[in-house]
Structure 1
Amino acid sequence: MVSASSLLLPSSMRDLASCIGDGAVRVACSSPASTLTSSSGAGSGSGSASTLSVTVSYRATLLNSGASSPPLLLRLTWSHSPVGPTLSFSPSAAAPSVLLRRRRGTRSISLGCVGGGEAETEAESPFVALFWDLTAARYDPGASPEPLYGYYFVAVAGAEVVLAVGDQAAEFVKTKFEGQISKARFLPVARRERVVVADPAAMHTARVRFAEGGPEHEVSVGCATSSGAGGGEELWVSVDGKRAVQARRLRWNFRGNQTVFVDGAPVDVMWDLYGWWFRDPPGCAVVMLRARSALESRLWLEEEGAAPGFSLVVQAFKAPP
């Protein structure tokens, strides 16, 4: 089982989900997303947010290890650094990230005890082989550190490809292994984007799929000063350009949730702005969208037997942490 805590979701969001009930249900239009030049950081209006890092968690189910083998939870983190965009990899839910310093290379990393049982010795621990090439990667200038195209990252464990990311990944696997290696089933299960909001009226946009094989959606999160009765700040979340959530009087309504429907399935939207307003030095504002099955009766179940649905987490800072 992939637990909630393993998905890089801030603890404040899990605490929030345990103490509040479902909000009003609103329907979000699921029309096709408009084309953007990047997967995140695109904005409109008076400004856009600057993306510090993007962390994507993938769940990989090995085909040759038997039904009793737990899935792997692999993480890629794309970050900005003084020398340019960097890539880090984590081979399990509990393992620290390993910085891949070279733009192109190979490396073997121990998977460790990915099943959560007793610790394994170095000799017993399985390994994952990494292959990557970012030398021709292209980025959206000044936006996300995640490449747009021109790259690949491939991970191999137990004679299976457990992760293949990038537009050149399929060609690399075909050339490198010549069809002699199987491909595990893997899919993204969580995405966290950490951004700096220099302009109070900025918005941040990400492109995600809430369901495997489903359409790609454009999710925008923004904050603005309300001109209506009472004034004050308001938070809004849009899906494919359609306003799905709008929370007003944020200094009072700094925590909350609503449920919207995307592609006919419920997506819980939760926000926690306490650190943004009331901590010194300021903390971050957190907005999470999490897809869930219609059979789930609560926003969050830490003890769920099935892996939770896809989650998008946006953490916004007033200044780089």
Structure 2
Amino acid sequence: MRDFPSCFGESGVQIADAASSSTSSAGTKGGAAQNLVTCLYRAQLAGRPCAISVTWSRSLMGQGLSVGVDDLSGSGSGSGQCLCKADIKPWLFSKKKGSRSLDADGGKVDIFWDLSGARFGAGPEPLEGFYVAVVFDLELALLLGDMRKEAYRKTGATRPVSNAAFVARREHIYGKKLYSAKAQFCDNGQFHDLVIECDTLGLKDPCLEIRIDKKPVMQVKRLAWKFRGNQTILVDGLPVEVFWDVHSWLFGSTTSNAVFMFQTCQAPEKSMPWSYSQIFRESRAQGLGFSLILYAWKIE
């Protein structure tokens, strides 16, 4: 099996390391689990390629939003240079709408948000009634949400020449035997119900099964010997490479997490890109598609 590090890390590590490093951010001790979703977008800042990460979080302390911008115009293969990052806690500090200006290399990045009328589901992301906009020198680089007219009026930005591309999503999910998520394998694609089932409690030979829209698409038996691996499945007629690492489930603590990654359109015999810049360069050159990374936390 090829090692595959987190698409959201700053350096190449094996997925087992990425899983253990996420323990502090997920905060499962004492039942105070923090729900985290990070979405990664490929965009343009004044003609330069950039990565914009948007993280939604929810915990007992409240809900929060974090926006980061990385420059990908460098020639090196490492991760992009961080231009700016803003941590916003709209519910905790009653800042449900507002803006923030940040100095970046060669200009100014403005972040606008309005979550005052946002409606939520089970996760930390708003479903409707909101907008989040990232503007670089009055040029709109990213716009999320359904309140587009309000966003354009508030930001004063010009309409973007091309829309930002949704290229990766990282999410924390929780369960004892069943782990569920909504999966959208491409930008503006169909949403699917994804279920991971694995019962490891007291079993000598546990089995891993993945279902999409209630249909089994993958099963791994003798999991104690195959706790890391990868397999190709078909979703909507397109190949999706599934990577898994359940070592922590089998040999770790009682509250530990496995990691799954679903990568669309991966070129055969091609290693996964290690960082932001490699993801986007490989996406353009090799046709790599969308990455969904799930941290599945086992709660006893």
User: Could you say which TM-score interval applies, normalised by the shorter chain?
Assistant: 0.7 to 0.9
Distance 1:281 1:316, change over 3 A: same
- Flag the structure with higher helix content: 2
Structure-2 residue corresponding to 1:44:
none
Confirm or deny that 1:256 pairs with 2:199: no
- Give 1:314's match in structure 2, choosing from 269, 277, 294: 294
Distance 1:181 1:111, change over 3 A: same
Structure with more contact order per residue of length (Cα contacts < 8 Å, sep ≥ 6):
1
Counterparts of 2:182 and 2:256, CA distance in 1 = 22
Structure-2 residue corresponding to 1:218:
193
Structure-1 residue corresponding to 2:153:
175
TM-score, normalised via structure 1 length:
0.69
After TM superposition, the structure 1 = structure 2 runs for residues 45-84 of structure 1, keeping only pairs within 5 Å, are 52-62=35-45, 65=47, 69=48, 71-84=49-62
Structure-2 residue corresponding to 1:163:
142
Counterparts of 2:258 and 2:6, CA distance in 1 = 20
Contact preservation (8 Å) 2:112, 2:155: no
Counterparts of 1:103 and 1:126, CA distance in 2 = 26
TM-score, normalised via structure 2 length:
0.73
Structure-2 residue corresponding to 1:108:
101
| Gaps in structure 2 of 5+ consecutive residues | 19-32, 71-79, 90-94
- Equivalent residue letter for 1:218: D
Contact preservation (8 Å) 1:14, 1:300: no
- Give 1:292's match in structure 2, choosing from 256, 259, 265: 265
| Gaps in structure 1 of 5+ consecutive residues | 17-49, 113-124
Structure-2 residue corresponding to 1:12:
14
1:131 is paired with a residue whose SS is strand
Structure-1 residue corresponding to 2:77:
none
Counterparts of 2:297 and 2:206, CA distance in 1 = 16
- Equivalent residue letter for 2:272: W
- Equivalent residue letter for 2:218: V
1:173 is paired with a residue whose SS is helix
Superposition misfits of 4+ residues, deviation over 6 angstroms: none
Distance 1:84 1:179, change over 3 A: closer
Question: 1:94, CA displacement in angstroms?
Answer: 4.9
Structure-2 residue corresponding to 1:186:
164
Question: 1:15, CA displacement in angstroms?
Answer: 9.2
RMSD: 3.2
Question: 1:111, CA displacement in angstroms?
Answer: 3.7
Question: 1:279, CA displacement in angstroms?
Answer: 3.1
Question: 1:166, CA displacement in angstroms?
Answer: 1.1
Contact preservation (8 Å) 2:200, 2:249: no
Counterparts of 1:270 and 1:60, CA distance in 2 = 27
- Equivalent residue letter for 1:11: V
Confirm or deny that 1:244 pairs with 2:220: no
Identity between Structure 1 and Structure 2 (%): 32
| Number of residue pairs matched by the alignment | 257
Question: 1:129, CA displacement in angstroms?
Answer: 0.6
- Equivalent residue letter for 1:60: A
Distance 1:255 1:189, change over 3 A: same
Counterparts of 1:111 and 1:238, CA distance in 2 = 44
- Give 1:139's match in structure 2, choosing from 113, 117, 120: 120
1:182 is paired with a residue whose SS is coil
1:233 is paired with a residue whose SS is coil
CA displacement, residues 128-149 of structure 1 (integer Å, 9 cap, x when unaligned): 1111011111122xx3111121
Counterparts of 1:6 and 1:184, CA distance in 2 = 27
Counterparts of 2:222 and 2:181, CA distance in 1 = 23
- Flag the structure with higher strand content: 2
Structure-2 residue corresponding to 1:202:
178
